Amino acid sequence: MKENPLLKLESYGQSIWLDFIRRGMLSSGEMARMIEEDGLGGVTSNPAIFEKAIAETGDYDDAIRTLARAGKSVAEIYDELVVEDIRLTADLFRPFYDRTEGKDGFISLEVSPHLAHDTVGTLTEARRLWQRVNRPNVMIKVPGTLEGLPAISQLIGEGINVNVTLLFSLPRYRAVSEAYIDGLEEAVAQKRPLKSVASVASFFLSRIDVLIDALLEKKVAERGPVADLAGSLRGEVAIASARMAYQIWKEIFSGERFQRLAASGAHPQRVLWASTSTKNPAYSDVKYVEALIGPQTVNTLPLETLSAYRDHGNPASRLKEGTAEARHCLQRLAKAGIDLDAVTEQLENEGVEKFVKPFDSLMKALEQKRRAAQE
């Protein structure tokens, strides 16, 4: 019997998390089997995932009816459902968390996407969720917007684990890494233990290629002087950006500033590869897994990508390779007339909106179910 490729990834220093959660997976034992058979190291959630789980399945209908008949508001129902799922998942991963001494075994819960540009609101909501869930292996997801940066530092300084989400640009990734270290230094100043604080920085991948490939296709179609160059860059930019992000990670977390904190027990903030499902059918369905396997990283996979990698993944340590080529790729992109900073700014704005819409849609669906239960 062929060995499960997912199980080999840990030997290269990479943890695989599932980018999906649904109550039926918890109650049926499916999630527990994935921990055992696939070596699953954690779970991420977001508003789009909860919309799919709650609004599009019957898993939660009994709980919704009970809460509705108890007079709970839509916001209270959402809170009860989500917090229960997060607690159940955290408890499932707790042995993994304990075995790795707090380095892995996390479940992430996002603040309301409406707070993406509200520092104070993000802090208030993050603290509330942290206390409400009350599990050491929970990470609160905070968007890596400009307004999110001070919230990240403050939360880390308070000992609250943070998953920084919606990262697309290299300058912003560097700023997030530094915000994490700022928070650790504040924790030291407050005499808080560093060993129990954890964070990941979620760098989004396939969305970069989707947008940039469209711009490249346009240049190819125009048949101008950069047409051939543009054609050669299709499907290359996201992985090149990720490789350069990893170089930033190595620079910052091997530096003297972090090493002083590491001596006091601080964990490095791992890079997490997100948006790893392949959107273009012309590309491999494990494209954003194979190329980015390396130490101190996390890759969060939707169910379809996880299944594909289990079936035909070919693990090897590849993240450290091709750094010069990655840098050259981004230089060639500029020569092709595409401003990567402008693209990543657009992606950040669109990313916030892509979470706001399903969140609002879920609230509407819950309101309908709430009213039906009260009739």
Residue identified by tokens 């396997």 is: 293
d(CA 172, CA 276): 20
Nearest C-alpha neighbor of 200 from the set 8, 13, 44, 356: 44
Number of other residues whose CB lies within 10 A of the CB of residue 82: 23
3-state per-residue secondary structure call for 23-37: HHHHHCCHHHHHHHH
Nearest C-alpha neighbor of 21 from the set 106, 94, 99, 100: 106
* DSSP SS3 for 20: coil
Q: Which residues pair with 162 in a beta bridge?
A: 140, 199
**Would you state the structure tokens that stand for residue 180, as one six-digit string?**
């994490």
Phi, psi of 68 (to 5 degrees): -65, -45
Q: Is 141 a catalytic residue?
A: yes
Choose, from 52, 103, 141, 369, the residue flagged as catalytic. 141
Residue 277 DSSP one-character state: S
d(CA 36, CA 18): 13
The answer for residues whose C-beta is within 8 angstroms of residue 138's C-beta and 6 or more apart is 86, 90, 106, 107, 108, 109, 130, 161
Kind and range of the H or E element at 18?
strand 14-18
Nearest C-alpha neighbor of 266 from the set 148, 149, 186, 320: 186
Number of other residues whose CB lies within 10 A of the CB of residue 192: 15
Nearest C-alpha neighbor of 168 from the set 242, 246, 268: 242
HSE-up of residue 26 (Cα within 13 Å, Cβ side): 19
Catalytic residues: 141
